[in-house]
Chains A and B, each alone.
Chain A
Amino acid sequence: MTSKQIINLLPYQHPFLFVDELTAISSEGITGNYTFKKEDYFYKGHFKNNPVTPGVILTECMAQIGVVCLGIYMLKDEIANENEPKIALTSSQVDFFLPVFPGEKVTVVSEKEVFRFNKLKCKVKLLNEKGQLVCRGQISGMTHIFA
């Protein structure tokens, strides 16, 4: 399963798709990246006259690359192009260390901790272009696949 195939199966689109490319994928983990666009809608309000990527958006980016893309890869045999997986975020715990400004490219690295009974729990970190740790945490999601 290629990076492009996985991204095409994601149930997100603009302005809430935060995955550009997946660079490493295995059943144990995944690495991918996203570049925040200067014109992204949330910069108008976060913050007034001082655009900084919101923590919830960084968390979303970590979840989309680190949990959802990995989950799609692991369920590749069950997922056919015509049946989209129904997914839900079930828990997140994230610590933040550095800000991400408009136009920055971030890399998400995720390691699988548990994948049982359709629940995927991962240890996820997000790095900036200098390789500095921006945020890290534990994110879980669940899926139901309808035939």
Chain B
Amino acid sequence: MKKEELLAKLKTIVKPYIQDEEAYTKLSEETDFINDLKINSANLVDVILDVEDEFDIRIENDDMEKMVSVKAAMAIVNEKLAAK
């Protein structure tokens, strides 16, 4: 999947769960879900579940621990899509 397309899809997915609007408008690959967007741990689970549905992939516990930023999420989604 193209980088821009993936980034746009992730941006839509995280929208309901963010607390920091300003960080959200400036969202980039470098954005951190917890420190920048202020997504809490319960909503981070919702983000993961929504990512699974959107891309039809399965994210495991190890992946979840790594999935703390937009960049990490993009890498994991791409890895899972490639393995399909």
> Which positions in A face B, CB cutoff 8 Å?
88, 90-91, 114, 116-119, 140, 142
With known contacts A117-B61, A117-B64, A91–B42 Cβ distance under 8 A: yes
Q: Is B48 an interface residue (CB 8 A)?
A: yes
Q: Is B45 an interface residue (CB 8 A)?
A: yes
Q: How far is the CB of A141 from chain B (nearest CB, A)?
A: 8
> Which positions in B face A, CB cutoff 8 Å?
40-43, 45, 48-49, 61, 64
Whether B42 lies near A140 (C-beta < 8 A) is yes
Whether A116 lies near B42 (C-beta < 8 A) is no
**Assembly CA distance A88 to B40 (angstroms):** 12
Q: Can you list the 7 inter-chain pairs with the closest CB atoms, starting with the nearest?
A: A90-B42, A119-B45, A117-B45, A142-B42, A117-B64, A119-B42, A116-B45
**Assembly CA distance A68 to B40 (angstroms):** 20
11 A-B pairs with CB atoms under 8 Å apart are A88-B42, A90-B42, A90-B43, A116-B48, A116-B49, A117-B45, A117-B48, A118-B45, A140-B42, A142-B41, A142-B42
**Assembly CA distance A140 to B43 (angstroms):** 11
**Assembly CA distance A118 to B45 (angstroms):** 9
Question: What residues of chain B lie closer than 8 Å to A142, measured between beta carbons?
Answer: 41-42, 45
Q: How far is the CB of A56 from chain B (nearest CB, A)?
A: 19
Which chain B residue has the least Cβ–Cβ distance from A140? Answer: B42
**Assembly CA distance A140 to B49 (angstroms):** 14
Q: How far is the CB of B80 from chain A (nearest CB, A)?
A: 16
Q: How far is the CB of A85 from chain B (nearest CB, A)?
A: 15
Question: What residues of chain A lie closer than 8 Å to B49, measured between beta carbons?
Answer: 114, 116
Question: What residues of chain A lie closer than 8 Å to B61, measured between beta carbons?
Answer: 117
**Assembly CA distance A114 to B45 (angstroms):** 10
Question: What residues of chain B lie closer than 8 Å to A119, measured between beta carbons?
Answer: 42, 45
Q: How far is the CB of B60 from chain A (nearest CB, A)?
A: 10
Which chain A residue has the least Cβ–Cβ distance from B45? Answer: A119
Q: How far is the CB of A139 from chain B (nearest CB, A)?
A: 12
